[in-house]
Structure 1
Amino acid sequence: METQNILKFPDYFMIIGYFVLMLAIGLYFYRSMKGIKEYFSGSNNIPWWLSGVSFYMSSFSVMAFITYPSLCYRFGFVGVTLLWVAVPATLFSTIFLAHKWRRARIESPVEYLEHRYSPVLRQLFSWQGVPTKVIDDGIKLFAIGTFISVSLGFDIKWSMVGAGGIMLLYTFMGGLWAVAVTDFIQFIILTAAVIIILPLSLIRAGGISQVLDGLPEGFMNLTSPEYGWGYVIYLVVMYTLAWSSVNWALIQRYYCVPTERDAVKTGLSVVFLYIIGPPLMFIPAIVGTQLLPGLTDAGTIYPALCRLLLPAGMLGLMISAMFAATMSTLSGDYNVCANVLTHDVYRRLLRPAASQRELVLVGRLMTLLVGLLALGAALLMAYQAKAEDLFNIMVTLFSIATAPVAIPMILGLLSRSFTERSALWGFLLGLLLGLVLFGFSYYPHPFSFLFLEWTPGKDQIAFFGHAASLEMVLFLATSLTTFFTMVFITAISPMKQTEKDHIEPFLQRLQIPIGTLPEEMDSETVKSGVSPFRIVGVSLIIIAVMMMAVLPWSGNWTTFILNAIIGVFLVIVGLALALSGRSKPLVAE
């Protein structure tokens, strides 16, 4: 193996500059947050292109640069296929739900449950969802702490505290506007890094044809024996349910835009990014089978490639891009969880008449609480867990929690028939079954019951002799239990007139286009608000200056030219955006 590069001054310059820029964006929006709607939904004024990029960046984390490259390195192109499942999942939410979320005119992702079902469901899903997201965020924060520790040599505890603290600060200060704009800047950094490492890896390996000739047979197939079409279909269904229900930050990106047409554009832009993004990001890991053969931990392939291929400065850029992946996800989660705690718990139960200033203060305190709880969960993680162990924990967690929440939430928007009682019992029985089956997974002895067979150590349950992974069984069992419970209870106890009267105003609202209600007719109310153009433009120029500042350390002409072209392009786009933002208002009058 060739000697790998070590971090130098230009790398630290890029990393520190990246963190300072993120904090500056949060500070820029700090004084603009005058009300809870602006803090948590951008006053429904976030442009669709900004919301779409934020959606994309919020949907994966640094785990994507550990787990999926690991799969690509070991099994081939199937690692890309497993991330492509996001395409049908996003299409479903875009076609069937995006316009409904915007027309619901909600300020939090669970608010509509009170109007569609009952206050009980709204509170139940709020209190169930926040702890689940905190644990999930703790896993992601532990992953980024591990990555920083390995990449920079820092202590893992302080790595988590530092990265988590910076994310928390800019989210605390600037709300959803800061989250969306930092997501966009992080997307630019990630794209620039990918554009550089992909051609460098192919050139180092001798070109595309030589790479393909050196791969094992079937390595570029969409599936593999380890991850067949059955597993892919399972992931498609799970992502479809999760991205339309329990992943609150993604729902938030649909209703924070001006109109339902913008909500659809948001979803379609994410579909486009997910089609082209995964191959560009993870083909270098496939090339890595020839550049770095025999890695004992395949989860380190992407950092190892970066150290091997990237010169000083560009290595720092790629590390910043990997930070960006998780920081986008966590900042979005912090904001939307604080949104639920502020709007659905504090305002709904404790202080219905609270002033906007009070609600913004509470929102910031809730953001701080969520971030600190996630950091606490991360610090409790076992330090010896490998990349795929963390991935399995996340998948199992979502397998239990996803369907019992997702099915009532989605059916409540798609059908007017299902009752509040059916949703409640569907959720409770589905979740209970998932927890029972998960408990059985820790049973140390093999056993069989009727057509089921459990073998400890394999994390598999056999049905009639056909083995399936534990997370697939959990998801299938909870999904079927929740759905058929709702169907059964609705069939034997149809909706009464009082419940019909309760939900009718909400269902009618879903049929009314945005901008046609009397309170929405005021064009100033609809169009005014924070403008992202100036800060996005200036941020792009700063990134370009940082990239050009490390040109003397490029190491070769290919890197120099790519870096220079990207820098010039960012300056041109940044100037155009900054100048266009000069005439736009910063804050609504």
Structure 2
Amino acid sequence: MIDRYDLISIAFYVIFLLGVGITYARRSKSTSDYFRAGGIMPWWVTGASVWMAGFSAWSFTGAAGKMFQTGAYSILLFYSILVPLLILLAFTCYRFRRMQVITPFEAVRLRFGPGTQVFFTWARLPFILIFGGVTLNAVAVFMAAVLGAETPIVILVLGASVTILAMLGGSFGVVASDFVQMFLVVTVTVLVAVLALNQADIGGIRGMLEQAPSAHRDWGEFSRPQFIALWFVALMVTKLFEENSIDKSAKFLMARSDRDARLTLLIPMIGMIVAPLIWLIPPTVAAIRHDGDIGGIMENLKFPEEGAFVLTASEVLPTGMLGLLLCGIFAATMTSMDAGLNQGAGIFVRNFFLPVMHPNCPERQLLVVSKLATGVFGAIMVSCAFLWETMREMALFDLLTQVAISLGLPMSIPLFLGLFRRKTAPWAGWSTVVVGLCASYVVRFWLTPEMFAFLPGMEGPFLPEEVTTFRIFSSVFIVCGLCTMWFFATGWFYDEKDESYMKRLDDFFGRLKTPVVSPSGSGLKEERAISVSIGRLCLIYGLFVASLVWIPNPMTGRLCFLACGGVMILVGAIVCFSYRSRHRSE
């Protein structure tokens, strides 16, 4: 499936990542630079980073496996984020930027106090590392099957690459690599979709829709409409709290102004509308061609359907381009993982090491501790990936969804509501999480769909997909309901005589009312320098991709390399020219 030309692309990609880390290592002069890029990033940089962090290799493995089985059904998961993003645009993103903190959990300290900050530090940090391990496992399983390598070795190599980039480059390296990798992912996956549709036995979009398995057209084969509707609403509610909670503010803290914080959402909103429609095509084509024999073809995978995307890609891409696709898939995973490592290190250093262990730590020493913490957390994340590989028994699509709801949702609810509701007790944050975790445990292990068989449309027997979706939407509705009621009920204990608490609240909500404007002077100069360097990275990678026209391929295949490389070269040239010309005009 993979040849020596693909290995050249993969080798260059690894070297490129190391180069990005080294390039931006010197730009971090403080923890503000290391964890939030100094708060000077323009919207097109933060927007690319937000979108890339919104998906991972799971989109090409777990989600592709679900698309192989059920068609557009899994697109509902991607589209469930659209309404939450609109709310983020209208009410939340600029509040994130106005918090004027280095890490999100410093804002938690302002809003709820040091005790709640410590609680969330040690509750959120393991979740970041566990989820990072799950995503690393996803891409490693995928790539090991394609490369014919052992999964543990792939986990180790990929985990080390991510850790080195995050440790050396900090947030500057993270956002710069995100921007370049976004165009790699987009161009290659679009090519896979176009080439797949142009196959003679597929016959374009119309032919694909006509030939798709019946389950792709009739979702009733695996779930009743009411289960699907409740599942979609539950996903939307989950994303509402997650995307708008304080702990998801890291990317917006990098934005240079209120305006840039809002414009940041332009790229992820467009991406989340268009990209899933493109990602749907290769698994559907695989379902048409290999519905009954994919297990024999992707026999190295525990769940063979998770290889549907790469199977189609291997059949339609020109020689040497499958390696670029693998790099793009890894890039999608790396974005969420290195951002997670950066955020995890920030949580530990700024919210535990500095206030508890070494309150008077010099900034230079704090920066060294931050890099060391990133390295240690990278090792822990790799260990979690090994653990998931030995333990997981369900498909990645369902695994990630259940992990996010069971662990992430209870922590997100108070961190969202706390942005808008002032009159709560100081202990409202951590106590709401405890209530949510208890409710999640009870629902997961005690509640079954059979308990509601007396309701119209809930009669048994239940299909496997209905049992899975029931666990999800029942958890979401019960956890959200109980947590929200509890959070507001703590307002009965709101005490205006608590002077220290009132002072923190005044500071926090005062910041939310104070606009942030674009930087000037040295901040503007630094922003331009970084923007030009990102443009140069696009040029470098684009020139490499375009140079692969020498690989023996038909003319169509050679044009594919020119198209992918040309897009990246054009973007890099526009960025460099725009910022240089602006500098000369001023």
TM-score normalized with structure 2 length: 0.89
What's the counterpart of residue 362 of structure 2? 355
1:252 alignment counterpart? 250
**1:357 Cα deviation (Å)?**
0.7
Alignment partner of 1:505 out of 492, 504, 507: 507
Q: Which residue of 1 aligns with 2:210?
A: 213
Shift of 1:321: 0.9
CA distance in 2, matches of 1:281, 1:554: 28
Q: 1:224 & 1:524 partners in 2: Cα distance? A: 62
Kindly indicate whether residue 44 of structure 2 is the aligned counterpart of residue 60 of structure 1: no
Quote the offset at 1:360 in angstroms.
0.8
The answer to whether the 8 A contact 1:78-1:224 is kept is no
In 2, Cα distance between the equivalents of 1:459 and 1:22? 42
Other-structure match for 1:484: 485
Residue of structure 2 in register with 1:376 after alignment: 383
Match of 1:147 in 2: 142
> Paired residue for 1:284?
282
Q: Do 1:117 and 1:420's aligned partners in 2 also have CA atoms closer than 8 Å?
A: yes
User: Which AA in structure 1 matches 2:194?
Assistant: P
Structure 1 residue 67, shift from structure 2 partner? 1.7
Cα distance change of structure 1 residues 448 and 581 upon mapping to structure 2, 3 Å threshold: closer
CA contact under 8 A between 1:532 and 1:581: conserved in structure 2?
no
Q: Tell me which residue corresponds to 1:3.
A: none
What pairs up with 1:417-456 in 2 under 5 angstroms?
417-440=423-446
| Matched residue, 2:228 | 228
Cα distance change on mapping 1:537 and 1:223 into 2, 3 Å: farther
- Aligned length in residues: 564
Corresponding residue of 2:195:
200
Letter of the 2:8 partner, please give it.
Answer: F
Q: Quote the offset at 1:485 in angstroms.
A: 1.3
Secondary structure class of the residue paired with 2:55: coil
Q: Which residue of 1 aligns with 2:40?
A: 45
> What residue in structure 2 maps to residue 533 of structure 1?
531
Pairing partner for 1:177 from 169, 172, 182: 172
Select the structure that is richer in helix.
Answer: 2
Matched, 1:264 2:266: no
What do residues 351-385 of structure 1 show as CA deviations (whole Å, max 9, x unaligned)?
22221111110110111111111111111223484
What secondary structure does 1:555 align onto?
coil
Question: Separation in 1 of the partners of 2:66 and 2:323?
Answer: 24
Q: Is the 8 A contact 1:77 1:223 kept in 2?
A: no
Whole-angstrom distance in 2 between the partners of 1:482 and 1:537: 45
Please give the alpha-carbon distance, in whole angstroms, between the structure 2 residues aligned to 1:319 and 1:489. 49
Q: Which residue of 2 aligns with 1:346?
A: 353
Q: Cα deviation per residue 1:148-185 (whole Å; 9 max; x = unaligned)? A: 21011122111011011011101100100100011111
Q: Deviations over 1:490-529 (max 9, x none)?
A: 2x333333233431122112111114xxxx9x83254243
Aligned match of 2:21 in 26, 30, 35? 26
Q: Which residue of 1 aligns with 2:560?
A: 562
SS in 2 for 1:382: helix
Which of 310, 314, 322 aligns to 2:317? It is 310
CA shift in 2, pair 1:222/1:44, >3 Å: farther
Could you say which residue in structure 1 is the equivalent of 2:495?
Answer: 495
For 1:477, the aligned partner's letter is I
Report the Cα offset of residue 316 of structure 1. Answer: 0.9
**After the TM superposition, which of the residue ranges 395-404 and 405-414 deviates more from structure 2?**
395-404
Paired with 1:459 and 1:373, the residues of 2 have a C-alpha distance of 34
* Alpha-carbon distance between aligned partners in 1 of 2:129 and 2:564, rounded to the nearest angstrom: 37
Shift of 1:292: 2.8
Inter-partner Cα distance in structure 1 for 2:419 and 2:511 = 12
**1:394 — aligned with what?**
400
Instruction: Determine which of 543, 546, 558 is the counterpart of 1:545.
Output: 543
Q: 1:373 to 1:239 in 2, by over 3 A?
A: same
Give the letter for the 1:171 counterpart.
A
Structure 2 CA distance for aligned equivalents of residues 384 and 423 of structure 1: 32
CA contact (8 A) 2:101 2:253 kept: yes
Structure 2 CA distance, aligned partners of 1:202 and 1:104? 47
Asked whether the equivalents of residues 99 and 263 of structure 1 are also in contact (C-alpha less than 8 Å), the reply is yes
Question: Which runs of 5 or more structure 2 residues have no equivalent in the other structure?
Answer: 296-303
CA distance in 1, matches of 2:261, 2:220: 32
1:507-553 per-residue CA deviation (whole Å, 9 max, x = no partner) reads: 112111114xxxx9x83254243533333222222222322232243
Shift of the 148–218 alpha-carbon distance from structure 1 to 2, 3 Å rule, reads closer
* 2:536 aligned counterpart, secondary structure: helix
Residue equivalent to 2:299: none
Letter in 2 for 1:237: V
Q: Cα 1:314–1:562, aligned 2, differ >3 Å: closer, same or farther?
A: same
Instruction: After superposition, give the CA deviation of every residue in 1:18-61 in whole Å (9 maximum; x if it has no partner).
Output: 11111101100111111000010111011111111111111111
Given the superposition, is the C-alpha separation of residues 70 and 376 from structure 1 closer, same or farther in structure 2, using an over 3 Å criterion? same
SS in 2 for 1:33: coil
In structure 1, C-alpha distance between the alignment counterparts of 2:581 and 2:478, rounded to whole Å: 56
Cα distance, 1:21–1:450 mapped onto 2, change above 3 Å: closer
Structure 1 residues 61 and 570: CA distance shift in structure 2, 3 A:
closer
1:78 aligns to 2:85 (yes or no): no
Q: Distance in 1 between matches of 2:469 and 2:31?
A: 46
- Aligned residues: CA RMSD: 3.0
Deviating more after overlay: 130-139 vs 492-501: 492-501
Secondary structure in structure 1 of the residue aligned to 2:533: helix
2: CA distance between counterparts of 1:408 and 1:323? 33
Of the candidates 517, 520, 524, which is equivalent to residue 521 of structure 2?
A: 524
Distance 1:29 1:223, change over 3 A: farther
Deviation for aligned residue 1:252: 0.8
Q: Which runs of 5+ in 1 are unaligned?
A: 1-5
Contact 1:238 1:475 in 2 (8 A): yes
Partner of 1:160: 155
Aligned partner of 1:410 in structure 2 is: 416
Cα gap change, 1:129 to 1:487, in 2 (>3 Å)? same
Greater alpha carbon shift after TM alignment, 470-479 vs 525-534: 525-534
TM-score (norm 1): 0.88
- 2:213 and 2:287 in contact (8 A); partners too: no
CA shift for structure 1 position 579: 4.9
* AA in 1 matched with 2:28: M
Instruction: Give how far 1:468 is off.
Output: 5.8
Deviation of the 1:143 alpha carbon: 1.3
Q: Which amino acid aligns with 2:377?
A: V
The answer to whether the 8 Å contact 2:230/2:473 transfers is: no
Match of 1:577 in 2: 575
